[in-house]
Structure formats: C-alpha cells, structure tokens
C-alpha cells in the first residue's frame, strides 16, 4: 500500500543526511537514479571518463570542479587491459591512484560482480560503467518496459546498498535522430532511459572537418555545463574547459562585422578617391545596398576624418567629398591666385 503524508506530516519529518557532491554540482550521492555520459562512438566518452575516474581517485578537480576523493570502480567492456593501462597512464595513473578496473568475462553476471566489488571496497565514491547496454544486457533497448526493468534492477541490487556512491553510465546517441534539437532526445533507446537517470553529460564532435569536442551537461539539482569547447591535450589525454559555444559564436559574428565594416570603409574610400568631388548621396548610391546604413556609415567616416567635405557645386553650397590629402578645384584655384 502506498505511503501517505499530509503537509503537516511532511514538514515534521526529520531531515535526512544530505547528498554529497562527488563532482561539485554534477554527480552526487544518495540518488535513486544513475547519471549518464552520452555521445556518438569516438566522441571522447572514454577519454573524459578516464579523466573523471582519476580526478576522483586522486582528489583533484574535474573540468574546473571540485571532487570528493575516494575509491573508484570502473567497469569496462570495450578495451583490453593493455589499452586501458596505457590510456590511464597517459592520463595520470599512479600506483597511489585509488582505482579498481573491472574487465568482464563472457560468463559474468555483471550486477553480481559489481555488487561484490562494492562490498569489498566500501569506501567507493564513484562507479563508472562502460557501457550501459553492455552491462545491463537489455533485451530490447528501444522497449520502455525492458529498459525500466533493467535500470530498476541496477538501482535495487547496486545503488540502494551503496547510497554514498555516485554512479555514471556511458551510453550512445541514436544515429537515426541526428536532427533532434535537444540532446536528451538523441539518447539511444527508450525514452525511459532519459527519464530514469539523473545528471546527463553530452559529448559531440563538431564535424568531420572540425575535430573539436563540445561538452554539455544538465543536472536535476546542481549546476550544469553550458555547451563548451574542450581544450584537449593529446599527450596526457586530458581536457579542460575552453570557450563556450555561445561566446565563440559572438566572437565570430564580431569578426565578421568588423570585416564588413573594413570592407565598407575600403569601398567608400576607393570610390571617393576615384571620384573626388561627388556629393554624399551620389557616393552612397554608388556603394549600393542599404542606403540608410551606408549613409550613416559615411557620416561616421566624415566625423572620424577619413573623408572630408568641402563646399562646391554650381551654387557653392553643396558638400562634396574628398580624401583628406586631396584638393578640391576651389582649393587649386585659390592656390593659383596666390601664386600670381
């Protein structure tokens, strides 16, 4: 029978021990849901997961965030022990690193193996599973019931008995949903996978031509990561947060705007140089485009001294345009009179 609480009873409940952040604002303990690290194959999930594992094991920051040092268990299914050792050494593995790697055998009951490792290492603060599909062996990953049952078993058999540990599952994006606007809707499999998980960390490569990676994270309670480029060090196989995607877009637009302004400056100066003594609006019409914008820009160049105006025309009251080092016909006439 379902538990029932009135508002008065809820308020009167004693506070529980608060969750602890294993990675500040991102991965926490005392959750009934694991977290996800998602992306397409070769997006860099393993590399980031290795860095995270060593950061917690050694008590050093991860992507500029504090970590709670503790034992880390990393279940891996895709690499040999030699590859794992090499990658972790390059990422900073030492004999003092508080880390246990589990490489499964085909006959293993994965939940039992992980539960046993946690009993033997009760100080574990972080469990990383690579990958969700390999570990849980879900019959049909597109079926909500199958996924819900598998994730619930994971919570019941592993997470509930280890409340002071955070859990992160590596998972893939769905290749058939490339055009989805929200990262959460790109997650491979049934929608319950997204709903049954806590924080979500997404990785993606910009394009085939641009190998940079972007990281983006959401947290139900915490502080996510806005889409940000990763500055990757190929020697150490580690990454740091770089410029945000938004800031780079702003900078790119500013560069493009500056180039357009320089191009417009050059076009106006060229026309004035080739056609000295024309009026402002004749020059504006020769430039083309948005006349009001070009006219305003030309006024700015005049104010800054890049273009000078001199009176002229049939009635002598027209404002004619010249470059600063050019003489108008009236100036030349005055000089001739002085010479005589």
For 81-120, the DSSP string reads: HHHHHHHHHHHT--TT--EEEE---TT--HHHHHHHHHHH
Is 226 in the same domain as 274? Answer: no
47 lies in the same domain as 184: yes
Same domain, 280 and 213: no
Q: What would the pLDDT profile of 239-283 be if each residue is shown by its tens digit?
A: 999 999 999 999 999 999 999 999 999 999 999 999 999 988 888
**Pairing between β-strand 225-233 and β-strand 213-218 as defined by DSSP bridges:** antiparallel
The domain boundary, picked from 186, 209, 236, lies at 236
Assess whether 216 and 161 both reside in one domain.
yes
Q: Is the pLDDT of residue 130 over 90?
A: yes
Assigned domain for 241 exists:
no
6 falls within a domain? no
Question: Count of alpha carbons within 13 Å of 53, Cβ hemisphere only?
Answer: 33
How many helices (H) and strands (E) the chain has is answered by 11, 14
pTM to 2 decimals?
Answer: 0.80
**CA nearest to 154, candidates 198, 102, 115, 200:** 115
- Domain span including residue 157: 15-236
Do 334 and 215 lie in one domain? The reply is no
CATH code: domain of residue 216: 3.40.50.300
232 strand-pairing partners: 239
Q: Which of 236, 271, 293 is the last residue of a domain?
A: 236
For residue 76, which of 167, 169, 176 has the smallest C-alpha distance? 169
Look at residue 201 and tell me if it is in a domain: yes
Flag whether pLDDT at 1 surpasses 90.
no
Dihedral sign (CA 232, 126, 64, 246) = positive
Residue 122: is it exposed, middle or buried by C-beta count within 10 angstroms (0-12/13-18/19+)?
Answer: exposed
Average pLDDT over all residues of the chain: 88
In a domain, residue 110? The reply is yes
Do 165 and 276 share a domain, yes or no? Answer: no
pLDDT tens track for 34-90: 999 999 988 999 999 999 999 999 999 999 999 999 999 999 987 788 988 898 998
Residue 5: inside a domain: no
Domain boundary residue among 183, 211, 236? 236
Contact (CB, 8 A) for 125 and 71: yes
Is 135 in the same domain as 277? no
Is residue 228 domain-resident?
A: yes
CA distance 157 to 165: 14
149 plus 53 within the same structural domain = yes
């Amino acid at each position: 029978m379902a538990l029932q609480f009135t508002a008065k009873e809820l308020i009167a409940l004693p506070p529980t021990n608060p969750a602890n952040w294993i990675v500040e604002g991102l991965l926490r303990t005392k959750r009934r849901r694991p977290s996800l690290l998602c992306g397409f194959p070769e997006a860099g999930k393993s590399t980031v997961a290795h860095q995270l594992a060593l950061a917690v094991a050694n008590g050093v920051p991860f992507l500029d965030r504090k970590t709670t040092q503790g034992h880390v268990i990393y279940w891996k299914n895709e690499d040999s022990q030699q590859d794992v050792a090499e990658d972790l050494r390059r990422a900073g593995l030492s004999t003092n690193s508080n880390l246990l790697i589990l490489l499964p055998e085909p006959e293993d009951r994965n939940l039992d193996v992980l539960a046993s490792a946690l009993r033997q290492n009760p100080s574990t603060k972080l469990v990383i599973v690579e990958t969700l599909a390999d570990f849980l062996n879900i019959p049909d990953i597109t079926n909500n019931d199958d996924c819900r049952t598998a994730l619930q078993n994971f919570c019941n058999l592993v997470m509930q008995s280890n409340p002071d540990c955070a859990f992160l599952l590596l998972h893939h994006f769905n290749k058939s949903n490339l055009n989805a606007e929200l990262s959460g809707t790109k997650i491979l499999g049934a929608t319950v996978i997204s709903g049954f998980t806590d924080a979500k960390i997404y990785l993606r490569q910009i394009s085939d031509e641009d190998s940079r990676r972007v990281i983006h994270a959401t947290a139900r309670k915490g502080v996510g990561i806005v889409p940000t480029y990763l500055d990757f060090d190929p020697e150490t196989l580690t990454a740091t947060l770089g410029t945000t995607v938004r800031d780079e877009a702003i900078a790119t637009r500013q560069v493009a705007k500056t180039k357009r302004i320089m191009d417009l400056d050059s076009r106006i100066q060229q026309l004035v140089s080739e056609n000295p003594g024309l009026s402002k609006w004749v020059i504006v019409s020769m430039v083309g485009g948005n006349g009001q914008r070009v006219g305003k820009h030309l006024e700015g160049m005049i104010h800054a001294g890049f273009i000078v105006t001199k009176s002229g025309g049939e009635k002598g009251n027209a404002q004619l345009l010249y470059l600063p080092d050019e003489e108008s016909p009236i100036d030349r006439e005055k000089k001739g009179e002085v010479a005589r």
